[in-house]
Structure 1
């Protein structure tokens, strides 16, 4: 089995989402001994923001900028990662009510018509093989679930579920730790709850 491990937090060793993805990956390796891991740190090795030069290249234009060429190669590798992986683990902290720009840049590389989705008679169809499992390590400073007054500002997990489903990744489990900036006790409780959910994961 192959596990794709993706992190997007800018907080390095202080990141809760990075700690949670590491635990999810370790749990999957324990459940499936001998699993291989593809590692993508979207902060240490960030993709460029989508640009007019990218669009021209997508349409067959000549690529003369070495940086653009490297970025296009990386985008192709991101797509191959998804086809190769059986389990996909994504660390997704909430920044300003949505995902980090580093994670958005990755999304802009993997949503490619004819590769990961197509438009058919019934609308868009995901092209990734069925049966892949996705784990989202979702972290938030505030609380955006239930009847929280901030729930209307949640464009984070809902966005990720939508875009992953668009390319055919519909088996998504969210491991959530929210309220992390609301004091030491709520933070500790949220992390403990998330870790308990990871411990309870089954094959």
Structure 2
């Protein structure tokens, strides 16, 4: 089994999304000790933003697309910055959407070609943006990730979420503890293969 571990939080050791991805990967390793883990820190080793020259060209540096396609499970740390994902994570995603490789257009519309893998998103956000909340319409983080992944054929998507992190120390601690408890107890993470 191949696990791809992606981090994009810019806060280093203070990053909640990094703490969650580490716990998820630790849980997966405990369940699958034979697993090979590839880690990509998009802050320490950024992927360049997409340019016109990049379209159709061989990628420079790390082959992000090959890493993704080789993974059985992808763990993505996705903090919310300004209602969406970090630009580092967006640059990585731009390298995954390749016509003819991860999707194609057909007479009946687009078809995803990159299914067959599980993606676990570790979402961290300062406010509360879940469905039914007053801030839900400002969530361009989780819906974007779901839409992009679905577009390329990934349908096995799970989200572990810590939100309300900027709503005081007690709310932050409770949210992190709830997310870590979710990681430890969620049966579907253990079944990831």
Matched, 1:113 2:99: yes
Match of 2:120, SS? strand
Identify the match of residue 179 of structure 1 among 142, 151, 164. Answer: 164
Aligned position for 1:27: 27
Match of 1:73, SS? coil
Deviation at 1:4, TM superposition (A): 0.4
Aligned position for 1:134: 119
In structure 1, the gaps of 5 or more residues are: 61-68
Aligned position for 2:66: 80
Distance (whole Å) between structure 1 residues aligned to residue 27 and residue 42 of structure 2: 22
TM-score of the aligned structures, taking structure 1 as reference length: 0.89
CA RMSD of aligned residues (A): 1.3
Aligned position for 2:110: 124
**Alpha-carbon displacement from aligned partner over 1:26-76 (angstroms, at most 9, x marks no partner):** 100111111100111111111111223223xx2x6xxxxxxxx7xx2346x
Distance (whole Å) between structure 2 residues aligned to residue 144 and residue 190 of structure 1: 13
Distance (whole Å) between structure 1 residues aligned to residue 12 and residue 149 of structure 2: 25
Distance (whole Å) between structure 1 residues aligned to residue 90 and residue 45 of structure 2: 14
Deviation at 1:129, TM superposition (A): 4.0
Deviation at 1:5, TM superposition (A): 0.2
Match of 1:40, SS? strand
Distance (whole Å) between structure 2 residues aligned to residue 95 and residue 88 of structure 1: 21
- Structure 1 residue runs of 4+, over 6 Å off? none
Distance (whole Å) between structure 1 residues aligned to residue 175 and residue 52 of structure 2: 42
Distance (whole Å) between structure 1 residues aligned to residue 61 and residue 133 of structure 2: 39
Match of 2:60, SS? helix
Distance (whole Å) between structure 2 residues aligned to residue 185 and residue 39 of structure 1: 31
Distance (whole Å) between structure 1 residues aligned to residue 61 and residue 171 of structure 2: 39
Tell me which protein shows more helix as a share of its residues: 1
Deviation at 1:79, TM superposition (A): 1.0
Distance (whole Å) between structure 2 residues aligned to residue 32 and residue 93 of structure 1: 26
Distance (whole Å) between structure 1 residues aligned to residue 106 and residue 182 of structure 2: 38
Q: Contact 2:20–2:180 (CA<8 Å) still a contact in 1?
A: yes
Q: How many residue pairs are counted as aligned between the two chains?
A: 188
Distance (whole Å) between structure 1 residues aligned to residue 34 and residue 65 of structure 2: 23
Matched, 1:40 2:40: yes
